[in-house]
Amino acid sequence: MTAAPPAGTITIAGKTVSRLGFGTMRLTGPGTWGDPDDRHTAISVLRQAVHTYGITHIDTADAYGPHTVEHLIREALYPYTEHVLIATKVGMLRPAPNVWVPHGHPAYLRACVEASLRRLGAERLELCYLHRIDPDVAPDDQIALMQALQDEGKIGHIGLSKVTPEDLRAVSGELPIAAVQNVLNMSDPFDPALELCRDLGIPYVPYRPFDAGALARSRGVSAPLQWLLGLGRHVAPIPSTSRPLHLEQIVAAAAGEA
């Protein structure tokens, strides 16, 4: 690293990482579909996040593209240094641009994990989220499969995305949850899981911190990001961008320099 971690550090999935993470959802084509318009810039942004700005929490999903961003991460950052946490998510079908369909059948989840391991070139997924709890599949079956993959050494730590407090209480009673990833921003500021995560000692990773860019346009970058960081030391936002200048602005805002 060539810079101190923006906004300090947090422990997620057993690693001390930068509290400001980098979300990779925007490193695709429109509709989170296909390749980015400028592959070279996408790879450059990933490298700048880690090597220039000291961001060591990189968040992705097999559904981004689908598969596009996991390939980009490997090209940009492999071999991964020990201090970098690559978090991915599984359990989502992508039949078309902007279409997201939860699919939690255990055989599908297993196939997703195996494929992510290959695309990322990893021996195990250090942090793997269940992208959604599929309402059409028994939750216990989905969680049991994730736990089985953890027991096999293919997943290091398990996270949950877009979960209710009821979901979190039920699952965390059965196995340790390394992180929770829900929508939270100044436009959508209420999530009861935020306080439950604090009580349970679980890092809370808010996605869409700029409300898909609407807050950045109306409020700037600093106010929405500082609002999130002020909600507690367990909060670790993952803003996403495909533009080097925007990344620089985000880092400055997190460090209180903007």
Mean pLDDT by 10 residues, the chain (258 residues): 80 98 98 97 98 97 98 98 97 98 98 98 98 97 98 98 97 96 97 98 97 95 97 98 97 88
d(CA 251, CA 52): 10
Peptide bond into 237 cis (omega under 30): no
pLDDT of residue 257: 78
pLDDT of residue 4: 81
d(CA 258, CA 174): 43
Mapped onto helix, strand or coil, the DSSP state of residue 229 is: helix
Tracing tokens 């409020």 back to the chain, one arrives at: 219
CB neighbour burial string for 31-67, b if at least 16 within 10 angstroms, e if fewer:
ebbeebeeeeebbebbebbbbbbbbbbbbbbbbbbbb
64 is catalytic: yes
d(CA 197, CA 244): 32
d(CA 25, CA 22): 9
d(CA 204, CA 208): 13
d(CA 248, CA 3): 12
Domains in the chain (CATH in brackets) are 9-254 (3.20.20.100)
pLDDT of residue 223: 97
Tracing tokens 């803003």 back to the chain, one arrives at: 239
By DSSP bridging, strand 204-207 and strand 85-90 are unpaired
pLDDT of residue 3: 73
pLDDT of residue 238: 98
d(CA 62, CA 83): 22
- Out of 53, 64, 129, 207, pick the active-site residue: 64
pLDDT of residue 258: 62
